[in-house]
Amino acid sequence: MLDEIALKYKTDKGSQGHGHTKYYEQIFLARREQVKTVLEIGVYRGASLRMWADYFPNAEIFGIDCNPKVAARTKHKVFIGDQEDLIFLQKVIKEINRPIDLIIDDGGHTQDQHIFTFEILWPCVAAGGYYAIEDLQTCWSPRHRSTKGLDSMKYLHNLAEKVAIRYLTKIDIETIKFANKIVFVEKGK
């Protein structure tokens, strides 16, 4: 179902592109009508926002992008700014003003952005909600390397280790699911 919607809107998330839709569907098919809020970072031309709106019929869909022209291409609220700007992200959080069921990081794909944005936005994820980071293959791309010595994959593996021994840690992550070019982090209930 989600892949058909992705193909309809010509987003690269479907089987004709990155193939992420099958993983989203595994997680959300049975509960897609319960999803109330979605935030996607990096919306390009807005096709994925339209896809999410069709797939999650009861959700309000938000986007973040650094290109001001994007906001004119969609009916959904798109915040224009840099995903590594703390003040900007705080304004986004304040305006959305509710827990977010699904956050998708399909933004700049640098390792600095992955980690910074996750750490700022993770507290906003609803209990039982998910934070997805797409296109993880960029972690091995020289142009997406960290300027601060950060490593997204090591960071995520460190989180996974904490989940494995959660009884010893105070982590609020229920599961971490790695798939082809994508990771899903589920918040505990």
Domain 35-187 has CATH 3.20.20.80: no
Instruction: Please identify which of the residues 76, 109, 114, 144 carries the catalytic annotation.
Output: 109
| Catalytic residue status for 144 | no
Q: Return the ∠ at Cα 89 (arms to 23 and 98), rounded to 5°.
A: 70
Residues 6+ apart with CB under 8 A from 46: 63, 70, 73, 74, 76, 78
Q: What is the pLDDT of residue 73?
A: 77
- Helix, strand, coil shares of the chain, percent, nearest 5, are 45, 25, 30
Q: What is the pLDDT of residue 147?
A: 65
Single pTM value for the model = 0.92
Cα separation, 139 vs 136, in Å, equals 6
Measure CA of the first residue to CA of the last residue in the chain; give whole Å. 27
Q: What is the pLDDT of residue 150?
A: 64
Per-residue pLDDT in tens (0 to 9) along the chain, 189 residues: 999 999 999 999 999 988 999 999 999 999 999 999 999 999 988 899 999 999 999 999 999 999 998 887 778 999 999 999 999 999 999 999 999 999 999 998 878 888 999 999 999 999 999 999 998 876 656 665 656 666 888 899 889 988 888 767 788 999 999 999 999 999 998
Q: What is the pLDDT of residue 100?
A: 98
Where exactly are the structural domains of the chain? 35-187
